[in-house]
Chain A
């Protein structure tokens, strides 16, 4: 199949950036979206042009590197990461707009690559347990209700890709921060430091310039891991409690 691509090209964070038109020929529906871009890039290199820069790493849906907005949807039309998106999700002759995550806190480095180190700084502010918890214990050595373990696990599924920020009209990082504080705070090992953790991580989130959550729910819909909005309610609750 053939696709008409409008890809965001931007030389650096200082450059204004613009869309450029490309045609992707001989696309098969078995290709992943990134493989399609690889083919486009090979053609660009062969014709002596600069290839499109995009982030990617594991290409198996777990690292969260592949960040791009396809026709307004972070990671594209399916509930997956871009690397796990296949061209069978598109029609022959379709026109696509491919652009980077849009948020002031995620400045564009080049083309489709944004700098997501704001997330790393939020984690550095408190997204950890500050004592060594040792090696993995025997199962059930620390009794944790199954419901809690499952809930913490669901929150821990966040891969930090930033689709939540990208989809939010306010560029809020609430879902990311809430997933990170929840997966630690629900478990006994992490709950001890929860008060300080939420305070520090929210302060860092604000310092990075992410917007405020207005509960539209677009983050959860865009999240390739389906992180629920309940996490944000828990973060709000935990932050409120941290004052007492």
Chain B
């Protein structure tokens, strides 16, 4: 128990939750690629997900992981700020700290705000209905198309996904380091994994609103 209340233990919890969320965004991005196939494929994929009773278990699980990640990160950030106290008159030149590592909490705030908007416009958005193959289902495809007609919304999505890219590129490598998975054996691979994963997720997520905006 003393382990989980130590600064390193708390970071491990944040990191593990972050790894879970990283996996979620990858799966979410991959599933959304049905947008490129067409209206029926996308709607049937979404229907298969939401009509499965296990979705509630998954949603509660995901929500809990998200809460652990956000609440602990917030508490630890406040603790870290108090530990530092005051700042220097000039900023350091001799440092390797990346922009993404120094602004992780700000990225988190933007992603959180986006998430509220995202859930409001899509998950709890308009309930259009459509019948595919004799089954009545929600026409979520139309909701997506409607949203992405607005260039401001497309812009907001692209910016937030870039923020997520920064968050993942440092966060993933950082989580692996907190798990102790770094050292001479891994020699820079951990950072590379973080960057590659972030790039993949970003590419997939950015292509979707841009495709819908220009194609439909």
Contacts and interface: CB of A to CB of B under 8 A. Distances in A.
B12 interface: yes
B82 interface: yes
Given A19-B89, A72-B90, A97-B88, A210 B179 contact: no
Given A71-B90, A72-B91, A99-B89, A215 B101 contact: yes
B138 to A, nearest CB: 41
B37 interface: no
Interface stretch (B19-27, B92-100, B115-123, B148-156): B92-100
Contacts of B95: 73, 167, 216-218, 221-222
A216 B101 contact: yes
A233 B177 contact: yes
Contacts of B94: 73, 77-79, 221-222
Contact of A230 (B10, B85, B89, B184): B184
Interface stretch (A22-30, A33-41, A102-110, A134-142): A102-110
Given A169-B102, A233-B177, A239-B8, A212 B79 contact: yes
Given A202-B6, A221-B95, A222-B95, A215 B178 contact: yes
A126 to B, nearest CB: 14
Contacts of A243: 3
Given A97-B90, A222-B92, A240-B180, A216 B102 contact: yes
Interface residues of B, number: 44
A96 to B, nearest CB: 9
Contacts of B46: none
A209 B83 contact: yes
Contact of B83 (A104, A217, A220, A229): A104
B180 A170 contact: no
Interface string A193-227: 00000010011011001111111111011100000
Nearest to A243: B3
Choose among B12, B76, B81, B182 the residue with the greatest number of A CB atoms under 10 Å from its CB. Answer: B182
Contacts of A220: 96
Contacts of B101: 214-217
Contacts of B180: 233-234, 236-238, 240
Contacts of B88: 69, 72, 97, 99, 102
Nearest to A210: B83
B177 to A, nearest CB: 5
A97 B89 contact: yes
5 contacts: A72-B89, A171-B85, A218-B95, A240-B12, A242-B3
Given A77-B93, A202-B6, A217-B101, 18 more contacts: A102-B88, A103-B84, A104-B83, A104-B84, A104-B85, A151-B184, A167-B95, A171-B85, A172-B83, A211-B7, A211-B79, A213-B178, A215-B101, A216-B98, A222-B94, A230-B184, A236-B8, A240-B3
